[in-house]
Amino acid sequence: MSTTPSHTLSPIGAGWTRVEGPLKVAGRARYAADHHFPAMLYAVPVCATVARGRIRRIETRVAQDMPGVRKVFTRENIGRFSRIEEKTAKLDEYRPPLDDDVIRYYGQYVALVVAGTLEQACAAAAAITVEYEEEPPDVSMELAPEEAPQVESERGDAPSAFERGEVCIDRVYTTPPETNNPLEMHATVAMYDEGQGFTLYESSQAVVNHRVALAAMLGEPPHRVRVITEHVGSGFGSKLWPWGHSALAAAAARDVRQPVKLVLSRRMMFHNVGHRSNTRQRVRLSATADGKLTSLQHDYLFHVAREEYHKENCGEASAFLYSTPNLRVTYGSARRDIAPTTSMRGPGAVPGLYAIESAMDELAVALGIDPVALRLRNEPSRDEASNLPFSSRHLRECLVQGAERFGWPRRDPRIGAMRRDGLVLGWGMASCSWMATRLKAEAQVDLRADGTVRVASATQDIGTGTYTVMAQMTAHVLGVPAGCIEVQLGDTTLPAGPTSGGSMATGSLVPAVLAAARDALARLAHCAERLGWVEPAEDVDAWCMSDGRLHRVGEPPAAGVAFERILQAAKLNVLSGRGSAKASSKDPAYQRHSNHSFGAHFVEVTWEPAIARLRVSRVVTAIDAGRIINPRTGRNQVEGAIVMGVGMALLEETIYDERSGAPINNNLADYMVATHADAPEIDVCFIEHPDVVLNELGARGIGEIGLAGIAAAIASAVYHATGVRVRDLPVKIEDLLGSGSAP
């Protein structure tokens, strides 16, 4: 541990290194698929090779007789999975696996082989033949409204204001389907015991929901399902809610009475665990000649699976980001024969802000106004959609400080006019925003007689630093050094913690962990008073802890007592404090505000017209996410999001074969994500204004906002370098050929 807090320095805001870092570096951190048990079997699903139709016949006899095969499951013998409703638990695909003989998308599970080794299971799965009654699928990426678009937000009369606008922009932007590609594959290791029920080792962003969902599907009471997720190699939204493989593995384990491991292949990741919808977004802006917005219209469409619905919420920030008297946001969806869609990092806002912020850049060009100045000109004083004050909005500061750090005032707005070392430079920028919400959460803090402290909650660390910030919150109250704090999470036997999604985990844990630590402290003080070791205090707030010692506020720690001595004298092994907090939706102060994080990206691209090479070379991002509990893990989140943004802007696109309906670039060679070689120089700065409406520490989430807006900033930088405005992501080299051959 790098930092040992003293009583004079709060651990909140300190750059503690990751609590679980040594485990990960040593290869001892166990991810779902790392769990092995005696007599464990391997499950391999068989996936449909058509995208629409019916199963006529499944021939499993050859597979059944192959070496090592324990059992082949189809819908005839897997047993029944109960349907669940959204009010019970969240799923992306409510239709259970192997439910009927209808094929709704390419890759849908049609059978499952369970065998002694992975190789035996793969070989047998390949030997299963399926006859289909095939129908031509529709996986068209062209989006047209299939029913009347629904109004999401409206004020004033945007269409008339647009007609009267002095300067107007009317553009269509599209983003392709993107596939969540966490490094760690989805996996389940399922065990069943007659007496105790199920133990599921999962790669999950929400163990509590996972337990409720699987219990309902498997027809068990929740207490007979335990879900364990010690570490997650990212999820990006695809691991928020359980997918079919988990139910398949659990049902197989119950049937064969042996542990069953099911790990998805990278190929399956492209059709069995969700993706981000493609979008088509029309943005209309009008402004006065001096750059005051008079209207904003955002009409967006996205594709969804044939039977499941997931809204790609592109309008998330449209209604409050800028001041305009007239606004209209509408949405609609188009059904396709594609696998169910899901949340992908910054769902909705990320494609939405690509469109809105690109249009703002186009408007700035049309007006001849600097794009930063245009944003500043339209900064609202309150949320004009909800007519509520912002809890804490410092976008202006992000724009001003980000611009200064980047060197934006030196920008020459003429296309291709900036050069360095023979490269054409393009400078672009964009604003960003992401919601700030708290989920209900519970936590427990134990003071132990061996001088250590344990903090626990059934939440997850998806690589974001949850282990570490939980330790910091505990140390903040108890004044104990990092080295004596043990953090436990990712286990449904612990007090119910928040989902790791929507950038909500940290902010939701703050009130629960602080309350649990304070409860432990109060019990400790009571214990010391009863022992007669200290004079009783009138009220519990008279006590605090620092350097692991209980003492009176205002007195030095040396005047107090080490907490473990109190426990030892009281003959207690452990003294537990519990804390819980309601969701922000139940909090009146929260409800009286508009709660969001904000930020601004400044991007430099380099363009070499002679060899058509485009690179993102430098990014400065200023983020207003309230108080940053750990600047090291916080910055890491924003850096990761920016690299992902380079992928979104320049590389990522899932391509579907129109004939078979298959995602054909279903591997990391053909579906390109940004790698280290694509990563620019990144400078992240935090504009730290604690948002105490959200929680006492003023900490909002930080996992997603960094990806919002970045693709627009990159596309605008590309325009500045080349004069080519790309409105269909990703930006491809062929879009730019023939441009910028000047000077």
Q: Which residues are catalytic?
A: 704
User: By the 8 A CB rule, do 514 and 579 touch?
Assistant: yes
Instruction: Output the smallest distance, CB 467 to ligand MOS, in A.
Output: 17
Residues in region 524-563 near ligand MOS by CB under 6 A: none
Instruction: Output the smallest distance, CB 301 to ligand MOS, in A.
Output: 20
If you compute the radius of gyration of the chain from its CA atoms, what whole number of angstroms results?
A: 27
Residues linked to residue 263 through DSSP beta bridges, in sequence order: 187
User: By the 8 A CB rule, do 407 and 372 touch?
Assistant: no
By CB under 6 A, residue 90 contacts ligand MOS: no
Residue type at position 738:
G
- Coil, strand, or helix at residue 431? strand
User: By the 8 A CB rule, do 361 and 371 touch?
Assistant: yes
Q: Which stretch binds ligand MOS (CB under 6 A): 112-120, 324-332, 341-349, 564-572?
A: 341-349
User: By the 8 A CB rule, do 207 and 471 touch?
Assistant: no
Please name which of 33, 92, 31, 439 lies closest in space to residue 234, comparing C-alpha atoms: 31
Map residues 669-708 to x or -, x wherever contact with ligand MOS holds by CB under 6 A: -----------------------------------x----
Instruction: Output the smallest distance, CB 678 to ligand MOS, in A.
Output: 22
Token code pair at residue 357? 């912020």
Q: Which stretch binds ligand MOS (CB under 6 A): 235-243, 267-275, 395-403, 612-620?
A: 235-243
By CB under 6 A, residue 274 contacts ligand MOS: no
Residue where the block lists tokens 């920030």: 317
Instruction: Output the smallest distance, CB 714 to ligand MOS, in A.
Output: 20
Q: Which stretch binds ligand MOS (CB under 6 A): 131-139, 244-252, 343-351, 643-651?
A: 343-351
By CB under 6 A, residue 352 contacts ligand MOS: no
CA 389 – CA 594 distance, rounded (Å): 6
By CB under 6 A, residue 177 contacts ligand MOS: no
User: By the 8 A CB rule, do 248 and 73 touch?
Assistant: yes
CA 686 – CA 621 distance, rounded (Å): 8
CA 355 – CA 178 distance, rounded (Å): 16
Considering beta carbons, is residue 96 or 347 the nearer one to ligand MOS? 347
Instruction: Output the smallest distance, CB 431 to ligand MOS, in A.
Output: 20
Instruction: Output the smallest distance, CB 299 to ligand MOS, in A.
Output: 23
Map residues 193-212 to x or -, x wherever contact with ligand MOS holds by CB under 6 A: ------------x-------
Considering beta carbons, is residue 181 or 205 the nearer one to ligand MOS? 205
Applying CB under 6 A, among 5, 11, 233, 237 the residue interacting with ligand MOS is 237
By CB under 6 A, residue 240 contacts ligand MOS: yes
In this structure, is the dihedral angle defined by the CA atoms of residues 255, 257, 258 and 260, taken in order, positive or negative? Answer: positive
Size of the site for ligand MOS (CB under 6 A): 12
Instruction: Output the smallest distance, CB 438 to ligand MOS, in A.
Output: 14
Q: Which stretch binds ligand MOS (CB under 6 A): 51-59, 209-217, 260-268, 337-345?
A: 337-345
By CB under 6 A, residue 438 contacts ligand MOS: no
Question: First-to-last CA distance in the chain?
Answer: 54
By CB under 6 A, residue 347 contacts ligand MOS: yes
By CB under 6 A, residue 345 contacts ligand MOS: yes
Instruction: Output the smallest distance, CB 671 to ligand MOS, in A.
Output: 18
By CB under 6 A, residue 350 contacts ligand MOS: no
Considering beta carbons, is residue 620 or 711 the nearer one to ligand MOS? 711
Considering beta carbons, is residue 641 or 684 the nearer one to ligand MOS? 641
Q: Which stretch binds ligand MOS (CB under 6 A): 291-299, 342-350, 577-585, 665-673?
A: 342-350
Considering beta carbons, is residue 205 or 277 the nearer one to ligand MOS? 205
By CB under 6 A, residue 275 contacts ligand MOS: no
Considering beta carbons, is residue 259 or 701 the nearer one to ligand MOS? 701
Q: Residue 650: exposed, middle, or buried by beta-carbon count in 10 A (0-12, 13-18, 19+)?
A: buried
Q: Residue 695: exposed, middle, or buried by beta-carbon count in 10 A (0-12, 13-18, 19+)?
A: buried
Instruction: Output the smallest distance, CB 24 to ligand MOS, in A.
Output: 20
Q: Which stretch binds ligand MOS (CB under 6 A): 101-109, 231-239, 359-367, 507-515?
A: 231-239
Instruction: Output the smallest distance, CB 243 to ligand MOS, in A.
Output: 14
Residues in region 283-322 near ligand MOS by CB under 6 A: none
User: By the 8 A CB rule, do 577 and 445 touch?
Assistant: yes
Alpha helices in 263-342 (DSSP H): 266-269
Q: Residue 450: exposed, middle, or buried by beta-carbon count in 10 A (0-12, 13-18, 19+)?
A: exposed
What single DSSP character describes residue 678?
Answer: G
By CB under 6 A, residue 640 contacts ligand MOS: no
Count other C-beta atoms under 10 Å from residue 171's C-beta.
Answer: 16
Q: Which residue is nearest to ligand MOS (CB)?
A: 237
Applying CB under 6 A, among 33, 139, 344, 456 the residue interacting with ligand MOS is 344
Count other C-beta atoms under 10 Å from residue 592's C-beta.
Answer: 11
CA 434 – CA 251 distance, rounded (Å): 38
CA 548 – CA 453 distance, rounded (Å): 10
What single DSSP character describes residue 535?
Answer: P
Q: Which stretch binds ligand MOS (CB under 6 A): 209-217, 230-238, 278-286, 547-555?
A: 230-238
Chain-centroid distance, C-alpha 281: 22
DSSP states of 174-242: EE--B----SSPPEEEEEEETTTEEEEEE--S-HHHHHHHHHHHHT--GGGEEEE-SB-S--TTTTSS-
Residue where the block lists tokens 């360095």: 420
Alpha helices in 26-138 (DSSP H): 61-64, 118-126
376's CB contacts (< 8 A; 6+ apart) are: 396, 399, 400
Token code pair at residue 368? 């001849």
Considering beta carbons, is residue 308 or 337 the nearer one to ligand MOS? 308
Considering beta carbons, is residue 124 or 707 the nearer one to ligand MOS? 707
Residues in region 496-525 near ligand MOS by CB under 6 A: 501-502
Considering beta carbons, is residue 208 or 240 the nearer one to ligand MOS? 240
Considering beta carbons, is residue 637 or 716 the nearer one to ligand MOS? 637
Instruction: Output the smallest distance, CB 461 to ligand MOS, in A.
Output: 13
Instruction: Output the smallest distance, CB 699 to ligand MOS, in A.
Output: 17
CA 64 – CA 31 distance, rounded (Å): 31
- Site residues (vs ligand MOS, CB under 6 A): 205, 235-237, 240, 343-345, 347, 501-502, 704
